[in-house]
Amino acid sequence: EIVLTQSPATLSLSPGERATLSCRASQSVDRYLGWYQQRPGQAPRLLIYDASNRATGIPARFSGSGSGTDFTLTISSLEPEDFAVYYCQQRSNWPLLSFGGGTRVDMK
Amino acid sequence: QLQLQESGPGLVKASQTLSLTCTVSGGSISSVTYYWSWIRQPAGKGLEWIGRVYPTGTTNYNPSLKSRVTISVDTSKNQFSLRLSSVTAADTAVYYCASSWELPNYFDYWGQGKLVSVSS
């Protein structure tokens, strides 16, 4: 089983600031990692797939990087609607999939 | 635009079987190259993948739930279903159905979620 560990658990920032979220895998997942955003009361939304590809309709302020075991989601300038919880998910260990525990981005 | 909608009882008694159905609209459940999944989320906690079903009926399950889970597909109704047996309070969660419609092994379309509570 591949375990994904996200850090920090909570990130307190102001609108306009840069957010950097981390996801670390217990073993290499190559580049097979995605990121989701979940706003309160909503289903998750796919942001990034295969480490660095933005999903359809995702703004350019969201970017992903990394490979192997260490990955980063960056939000270049936080908009009010970006304050949410973010999850990473690996698809390397097919057929089994797993999610990280999440990072909450709070407004300072 | 693909749409998914969960339905089923919102309250299940402990030791009984949880049953949910996901109805797909805006596309054929038979035509997707990839598959259809169930994912759950206890209140205030993270996401847990439960399992997937292919249009052919082939399934894969999370090993932690495998002994209690059955996921099936009904192509004539454009639906797929989840059954989770011998439920306990730990199974109380929002249950989402989701698809990998355009991207393999990622979830690009989600239902709105169905809260299922297990009562003692």
Q: How far is B51 from chain A (nearest CA, A)?
A: 8
- Interface list for B 42-61 with A (CB within 8 A): 46-49, 52, 60
Nearest to A38 by CA among A101, A98, A108: A101
CB contact under 8 Å between B110 and A95, yes or no, is no
What is the residue-level pLDDT of chain B in tens, covering all 120 positions? 899 999 999 999 999 999 999 999 998 898 767 789 999 999 999 999 999 999 999 999 999 999 999 999 999 999 999 999 999 999 999 999 999 888 889 999 999 999 999 998
Q: What DSSP assignment string belongs to A44-100?
A: -EEEEETTTEEPTT--TTEEEEEETTEEEEEESS--GGG-SEEEEEE-SSTT--EE-
Of A44, A98, A99, the CB nearest to B110: A44
Among chain A residues, CA nearest to B110: A43
